[in-house]
């Protein structure tokens, strides 16, 4: 079978090994009298169906057996002691079965041996190799027990392909879980994809098959060849592969042990044990394949590699002032149009942009620049591709059997999280990304689809839980264990849920009955806010509640406010194109949207290209429209304003220190719908003094410990508009989105206002000010 497609046999470099027809048991090809094997064991071996080939092949007392189909001669090369292992004798082996089974005699005193196989005519050069069937397993009983119990947190260390020195011999150990397979073999470049050469052994009742193959080198492609429960011969990529072919190839690749030397120690020490809820968090969401392209050397263009991104992305993100980068799924996926959300190799960064160590270098570079790294992670579903996890051993192994095993929206398969080994596969994978790639957070995709048994299903298409409800109790337990595992293992990592329903306590600790996530995307805020800004300002007076409703539930979860990739694809239009009016009004609305969002309680997330004011929808098949900032000055000004938003945001703790408590927010006025004007205060933690009973602890705060946000979301300027403020004196204009430097009309208050006695909006002081059109002002009391 072809390693890339899983359908036909390849013809790798070198002479192919012929496959003669296997003899019929008891027929002309029956073993000769020299064989010491019983007929049943022998036939299973020559058919590569023996569940324990090590019990037949390899060294057994003075007898050594090997199965090499197509060999015309074979020899035992008796070696001296390690480390030299010098050949001291060449002993001919006898063919005891025409399918290719050979036996040789070895003196009990022999220190060791290798083998030599000759293919072709007499005198042809021999192929010398170490015997795979003389080695002990590379997994122990404790590994197997923990895996079957779903408790092996470092599962990647024993499963998959590991290049190593085992019992003094260099090679690669392979381990795969396929409990219902009748036989499993390793095929790859080194054995010409002939599964008969390297059958694996089944380790008891664990369902794990294992084999150490000397000489299987780093960089070689491989797959597992299985005889399934229904007697089909299939090729499967390694579920635990650490590297893969570049798609559309689908073979796994033996990865080199990491040689990357991390240089992000200061970052890790600074983040360990820090209060992430009370810290600034402004996320730049990135799709690696379409951020920026470069010349491919053949007259076209290609995406930047991991190493090229490590040179450009950290510098750009630092220039823009974002605190974190969030990558759309990095794990290998066969279909680029899925953006990474249909994963085929959960333990392998996609090879489209380089090696696993190259990806480590990218994360390291971001950390050294002071930028956190978030990776999207997809435990909800996986694709149906025949070469990957789907019906891996001929049964529904990783997925549910029946209709509950398929996702009706995406045509994918749903993980069976009630099976210990499947949940262990995913839990260990989460830790793998945190530990091996120093990822700071996992953003868990499609959590809502996991929580509800009836998600996108009609009556009769789903099965209730044991209590008759629609809650997926297995998924609930899995998500709780996921979060307990991540927070209990890592001193710096967190988790983020993309969850679009009102499920309670998503970002509350499990010991309080929550799911245990660190943060939750606020999909309701996103929907309502975009709905408001898409409305013509003439009718916004009827939609003011779209902006105010979110503050009713803002403290129920640790919310991130997302303007993500999902909002700029599939006909939804770009953020700029959503805005009403002519081009000037569209840009003004977009600037106002960003300033409103950055002042609103909750952490921030903006998808790449949003800072440029792209007119076209995002497409994964091209780079961002970087040219817009060169062609139109107002787009360049918008980009600079986003950088200024981040600079002010990070410098003003009032904008992030109390995101998740009502003490950090206070409406000034949310009732002036006729003028489309809203105003509120963001507040720092109190530094002393008791707050009045029933009031937030803001009145006695020192200077610069609060920020006022005043938004005029009408195209009509408001001159002499009175706004109440909690403190008298001079207030500085931190931000005016209508400033000329950002592409606005230049209306404003000359950089400052003076609040005087005269209560307004329930505040003891007030100020008459100019509110520019379609603009947001940030004010702070002067020191």
Closest listed residue to residue 533, CA positions, set 776, 746, 741, 285? 776
Q: Which of 116, 143, 210, 445 is catalytic?
A: 445
Q: Which of 285, 421, 474, 498 is catalytic?
A: 498
CB 31 within 8 A of CB 38: no
Structure tokens at 70: 């197509």
Chain centroid offset of residue 430 CA: 9
What is the DSSP track for 601-623? SSEEEEETTTTTT-SSPP-TTS-
What is the DSSP track for 749-760? -TTEEEEEEEEE
Name 674's bridge partners: none
CB 146 within 8 A of CB 67: no
Side by side, the strands of the sheet bearing 126-129 are 87-92, 73-79, 112-118, 126-129
Distances (CA, A) of 754 to 170, 757, 764, 766, 769: 77, 10, 13, 8, 9
Distances (CA, A) of 762 to 4, 728, 766: 70, 14, 10
Closest listed residue to residue 641, CA positions, set 529, 734, 774? 734
Closest listed residue to residue 383, CA positions, set 342, 334, 336, 339? 342
Closest listed residue to residue 509, CA positions, set 525, 494, 490? 494
**Alpha-carbon distance 705 to 685, whole Å?**
8
Kindly report the length of the chain: 783
* Phi, psi dihedral angles at 212 (to 5 degrees): -105, 125
296 is catalytic: no
* Phi, psi dihedral angles at 471 (to 5 degrees): -80, 135
Structure tokens at 317: 């993100």
**Alpha-carbon distance 373 to 281, whole Å?**
11
User: Checking DSSP bridges between strand 372-377 and strand 441-444, what pairing results, if any?
Assistant: parallel
Name 58's bridge partners: 65
Closest listed residue to residue 635, CA positions, set 591, 604, 598? 591
CB 533 within 8 A of CB 556: no
Closest listed residue to residue 613, CA positions, set 640, 638, 641, 584? 638
Name 776's bridge partners: 711
**Alpha-carbon distance 41 to 44, whole Å?**
5
130 is catalytic: no
Place of tokens 């200077």: 703
Active site residues: 445, 498
């Amino acid at each position: 079978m072809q390693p890339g497609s899983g359908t036909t046999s390849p013809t790798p470099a070198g002479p192919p090994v012929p496959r003669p027809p296997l003899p019929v048991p008891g027929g002309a090809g029956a073993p000769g009298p020299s064989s010491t094997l019983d007929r049943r064991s022998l036939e299973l071996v020559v058919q590569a169906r023996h569940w324990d080939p090590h019990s037949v092949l390899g060294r057994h007392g003075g007898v050594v057996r090997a199965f090499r189909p197509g060999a015309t001669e074979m020899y035992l090369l008796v070696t001296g002691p390690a480390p030299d292992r010098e050949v001291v004798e060449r002993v001919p082996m006898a063919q005891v079965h025409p399918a290719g089974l050979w036996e040789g005699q070895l003196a009990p005193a022999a220190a060791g041996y290798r083998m030599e196989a000759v293919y072709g005519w007499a005198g042809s050069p021999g192929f010398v190799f170490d015997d795979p069937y003389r080695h002990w397993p590379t997994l122990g009983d404790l590994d197997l027990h923990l895996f079957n119990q779903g408790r092996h947190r470092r599962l990647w260390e024993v499963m998959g392909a590991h290049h190593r020195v085992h019992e003094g011999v260099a090679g690669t150990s392979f381990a795969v879980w396929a409990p219902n397979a009748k036989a499993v073999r390793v095929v790859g470049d080194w054995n010409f994809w002939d599964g008969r050469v390297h059958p694996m052994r089944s380790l008891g009742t664990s369902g794990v098959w294992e084999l150490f193959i000397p000489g299987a080198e780093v960089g070689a492609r491989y797959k597992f060849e299985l005889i399934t429960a229904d007697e089909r011969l299939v090729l499967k990529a390694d579920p635990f592969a650490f590297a893969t072919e570049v798609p559309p190839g689908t073979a796994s690749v033996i990865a080199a042990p990491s040689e990357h030397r991390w240089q992000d120690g200061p970052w890790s020490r600074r983040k360990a044990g820090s209060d992430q809820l009370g810290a600034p968090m402004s996320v730049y969401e990135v799709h690696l394949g379409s951020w920026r392209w470069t010349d491919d050397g053949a007259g076209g263009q290609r995406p930047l590699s991991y190493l090229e991104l490590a040179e450009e992305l950290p510098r750009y993100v630092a220039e823009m002032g974002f605190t974190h980068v969030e990558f759309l799924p990095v794990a290998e996926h066969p279909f680029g149009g899925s953006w990474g959300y249909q994963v085929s190799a959960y333990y392998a960064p996609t090879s489209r942009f380089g090696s696993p160590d190259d990806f480590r270098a990218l994360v390291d570079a971001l950390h050294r620049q002071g930028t956190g790294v978030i990776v999207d992670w997809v435990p909800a579903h996986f694709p149906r591709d025949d070469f990957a996890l789907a019906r891996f051993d001929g049964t529904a192994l990783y997925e549910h059997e029946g209709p509950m095993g398929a996702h009706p929206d995406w045509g994918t398969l749903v993980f069976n999280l009630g099976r210990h080994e499947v949940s262990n596969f995913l839990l260990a994978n989460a830790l793998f990304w945190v530990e091996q790639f120093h990822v700071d957070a996992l953003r868990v995709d499609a959590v809502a689809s996991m929580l509800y048994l009836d998600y996108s299903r009609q009556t009769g298409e789903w099965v209730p839980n044991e209590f008759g409800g629609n809650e997926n109790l297995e998924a609930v337990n899995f998500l709780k264990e996921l979060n307990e595992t991540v927070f209990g293992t890592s001193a710096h990592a967190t988790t983020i849920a993309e969850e679009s329903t009102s499920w309670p306590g998503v970002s509350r600790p499990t010991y309080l009955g929550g799911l245990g996530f660190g943060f939750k995307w606020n999909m309701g805020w996103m929907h309502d806010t975009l709905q408001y800004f898409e409305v013509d300002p003439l009718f916004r007076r009827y939609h003011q509640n779209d902006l105010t409703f979110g503050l009713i539930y803002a403290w129920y979860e640790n919310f991130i406010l997302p303007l993500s990739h999902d909002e700029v694809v599939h006909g939804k239009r770009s953020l700029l194109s959503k805005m009403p009016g002519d081009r000037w009004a569209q840009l003004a609305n977009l600037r106002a949207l960003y300033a409103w969002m950055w002042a609103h309680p909750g952490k921030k997330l903006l998808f790449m290209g949003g800072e440029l004011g792209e007119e076209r929808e995002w497409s994964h098949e091209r780079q961002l429209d970087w040219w817009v900032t060169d062609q139109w000055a107002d787009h360049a000004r918008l980009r600079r304003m986003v950088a200024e938003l981040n600079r002010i945001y990070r410098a003003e703790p009032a904008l992030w220190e109390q995101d998740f408590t009502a003490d950090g927010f206070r409406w000034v006025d949310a009732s002036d719908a006729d003028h489309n004007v809203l105003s509120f205060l963001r507040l720092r933690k109190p530094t002393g003094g008791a707050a009045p009973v029933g009031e937030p602890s803001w009145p006695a705060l020192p200077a610069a410990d609060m920020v006022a946000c005043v938004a005029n979301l009408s195209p009509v300027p408001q001159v002499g508009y009175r706004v109440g403020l909690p403190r008298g004196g001079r207030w500085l204009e931190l931000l005016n989105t209508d400033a000329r430097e950002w592409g606005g009309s230049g209306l404003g208050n000359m950089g400052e206002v003076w609040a005087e006695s005269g209560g307004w909006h329930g505040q003891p002081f007030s100020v008459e000010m100019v509110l520019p059109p379609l603009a947001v002002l940030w004010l702070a009391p002067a020191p």
